[in-house]
Structure 1
């Protein structure tokens, strides 16, 4: 079938070139415009059931199993594979790894889209998830068998399986050079403001690493998914530890982020625990809720999930670049050593510690806040995707029972950022720098990746 598409595309290119020589200023061929309209109608008829089924399988497999950088990579790659697979069934949006320039979608119809698209989604998600997280294999193998068994055996089903296989292979090949994030021994800071490691490391169990370890010190050099490089949006340097701005941030987190703080409200403590969950899983839950609420079709659902995880992954990469470029100390170190920081206005407390009901202090430098960058990045992506910030949604957390409801995406992002102060993990300047970075990452990804194809891009 792919060969037929390619032959059709080549012939159409010749016709288009001949036509363009006579009238170079004319709009795209009417045939292509009509074909796009037909494809749009077909795409709208394909619902989100299979996309959400495999997104849920992805969440079940990896949520709360690993630190955010590793989780974000898997989320992004699986979500992209599903998006690319669908857009090689019928081309609606640009792809990331599997080229869909060969395809005009002409051989698929409203009657036939389900078997080929469902098979493609299931196979793509399965193959990437199994490759990246082998522990998921028994469950996702069973899910794939169940999904494919519900599709009537036919050439369309076989084509869908082939497209899904190719989409998975393409993203795995494109990202095979990634250096996976691990704990590594790093040089320890000695001067005020310089990072010192903050053991114990408890995610999900204490690893066997030196007390001088930190997590993923080279993650900022990882190839991003949507932006150009990890240092593309690197923030300005953090405040000097003798500055009044640092002093204000120090005293704020010392007061509100202390485990035994009498100034932090009960609601703020609940926020800290609820939002301690990994950013990729939390924002995936928001995206999934919006897919259901807005009744997105399968193609738009896959695109939203892919853009979300590309943004989150790149925000984390960017923040890690800044973390290990500046190597600024965490509040835990700063406050415990506050008597030795050459700042007369920062009173130290060797017994100070962050909120124990949440995680221990993350094993990375403090500036900028990765959590804030990812949270604001996701919120900005949602705002641009839906054309408004004011959407209501309710989410749960893996970290505690209950749920939280929001009336805007920005409201969630702000909570995610300030929760790091209330939890004792970050200074306010860390939050603000991450917040700005998240906006910049989301804007770049949304404006440059997985864009809707124009009529004259359907066949090249």
Structure 2
């Protein structure tokens, strides 16, 4: 429940964004060696990290973001140390990423070893390389040790009474709450999962709740007559996995902007740390105030005690909702953290992200955070996944976490 609420938009978007169709490229199985200090190794190992975590490891988006944050932190620490005279920074980066991934994803060790050995084979075997390997190994070991008892995979479940009261989340056909332990995990940077927590959803009897329910009932229905074809396309664009989308887009941005290795590792570390901590915060609020999804609220509106709502037992959303409570939006938390971090790093109107959706096979280009997040907000409502209040709360969380991460951890230095 936030004071500043985004505007409801049921008409066409005020300004169309550039939409391009591109062909996705797969990460090379054996990335070639780059010149010392070249950022290409960071991009290659980010792609390998996603393959290991999200594809082979089958981690769901919020959990994948946490692991990407940890890998990116180790790589950042390794490169910073190496750049200060500790050895080859590219070797340090590859070693740190490899060692962290092997530790937590031992089933992928053969592929990771093959990637690492193939890349390292193109680097001269000298003292600089060996020093870089040691720096990377030390950074990985320090990260793994620091996260040894961080709460991951703790046996936590979301309990519900036998007859849940109106407003309480219940599974909507896609399973019990996914990764409830995430909200109790030690954040990567912020002090606690509750530091930037919001105060939960609007009361069921409030005018705000009734307005939100009416909006999603009209715009998020599988058979909506109010949602235009363009709005449906935008909704489907943002039904893809945002964690993978943002990793892909950051790699493309780094190449296009010709970022050096220090700036590249800073971007990935800052963005992925903020994304991870925003989702940890998000999951804690979801757990503490498990609010029902629109599909439940609309079908059971006769139970909410609000005279301004009307039940529609046959209502269904455009797509099935993910298996966790409504408020705040997980997609909104990670998206706002990513967008705000990029604007903090590069300036307002300079996020410069070309984001591809494998659902619609299109790419959207965003220069400013506000346009990006406004579209994510509308899209998740138009999918029938969220009440607007859940999107507004998620933006508050993501921005708060991102500000703290960049201001106190990854602010660019003047060279």
CA contact (8 A) 2:37 2:90 kept: no
Is the aligned partner of 1:372 residue 2:332?
yes
Is the aligned partner of 1:166 residue 2:138?
yes
Aligned-partner Cα distance in 1 for 2:69–2:178 = 20
**TM superposition shift of 1:172:** 1.0
**Which of residues 260, 269, 272 in structure 2 aligns to 1:306?**
269
CA contact (8 A) 1:67 1:278 kept: no
Is the aligned partner of 1:218 residue 2:181?
yes
Corresponding residue of 2:129: 157
TM-score (normalizing by structure 1): 0.77
**Which of residues 80, 83, 92 in structure 2 aligns to 1:120?**
92
- Residues 176/277 of structure 1: CA separation in 2 closer, same or farther (3 Å cut): farther
**Which of residues 148, 153, 174 in structure 2 aligns to 1:200?**
174
CA contact (8 A) 1:287 1:308 kept: no
SS in 1 for 2:364: strand
CA contact (8 A) 1:307 1:445 kept: yes
1:33-48 superposed matches below 5 A: 46-48=37-39
Q: Which runs of 5+ in 2 are unaligned?
A: 1-35
Aligned-partner Cα distance in 1 for 2:373–2:108 = 31
Is the aligned partner of 1:353 residue 2:313?
no
Is the aligned partner of 1:439 residue 2:399?
yes
Spell out, residue by residue over 1:63-107, the C-alpha distance to the aligned partner (whole angstroms, 9 max, x if none): 36321221011111111111111111123xxxxxxxxxxxxx2xx
Q: Which runs of 5+ in 1 are unaligned?
A: 1-44, 92-104, 202-212, 456-460
- Residues 402/73 of structure 1: CA separation in 2 closer, same or farther (3 Å cut): same
Aligned-partner Cα distance in 1 for 2:116–2:98 = 7
TM-score (normalizing by structure 2): 0.85
Is the aligned partner of 1:381 residue 2:333?
no
Is the aligned partner of 1:83 residue 2:56?
no
CA contact (8 A) 1:227 1:441 kept: yes
Aligned-partner Cα distance in 1 for 2:151–2:189 = 18
Corresponding residue of 1:237: 200
CA contact (8 A) 2:70 2:188 kept: no
Is the aligned partner of 1:394 residue 2:354?
yes
**Which of residues 245, 258, 263 in structure 2 aligns to 1:295?**
258
What RMSD, in angstroms, separates the aligned Cα atoms of the two structures? 2.3
CA contact (8 A) 1:283 1:308 kept: no
SS in 2 for 1:449: helix
CA contact (8 A) 1:70 1:180 kept: no
Aligned-partner Cα distance in 2 for 1:304–1:79 = 9
Is the aligned partner of 1:265 residue 2:228?
yes
**TM superposition shift of 1:454:** 10
SS in 2 for 1:215: coil
**TM superposition shift of 1:258:** 0.8
Corresponding residue of 1:275: 238
Corresponding residue of 2:29: none
SS in 1 for 2:167: coil
CA contact (8 A) 1:279 1:312 kept: no
Aligned-partner Cα distance in 2 for 1:333–1:75 = 33
Spell out, residue by residue over 1:377-408, the C-alpha distance to the aligned partner (whole angstroms, 9 max, x if none): 11111001002224443221243422222232
Spell out, residue by residue over 1:225-244, the C-alpha distance to the aligned partner (whole angstroms, 9 max, x if none): 12111111111232111111
- Residues 400/53 of structure 1: CA separation in 2 closer, same or farther (3 Å cut): same
Aligned-partner Cα distance in 1 for 2:372–2:398 = 13
Corresponding residue of 2:17: none
**TM superposition shift of 1:139:** 2.3
CA contact (8 A) 2:90 2:132 kept: yes
**TM superposition shift of 1:413:** 2.1
SS in 2 for 1:394: strand
Corresponding residue of 1:322: 285
**TM superposition shift of 1:452:** 5.9
* Runs (4+) off by over 4 Å: 451-455
Spell out, residue by residue over 1:203-239, the C-alpha distance to the aligned partner (whole angstroms, 9 max, x if none): xxxxxxxxxx322223222111121111111112321
**Which of residues 136, 139, 150 in structure 2 aligns to 1:178?**
150
Aligned-partner Cα distance in 2 for 1:446–1:384 = 7
Aligned-partner Cα distance in 2 for 1:185–1:393 = 36
Corresponding residue of 1:404: 364
**Which of residues 201, 211, 214 in structure 2 aligns to 1:248?**
211
Aligned-partner Cα distance in 2 for 1:431–1:452 = 29
Aligned-partner Cα distance in 2 for 1:304–1:139 = 26
**Which of residues 34, 52, 55 in structure 1 aligns to 2:46?**
55
Corresponding residue of 1:334: 297
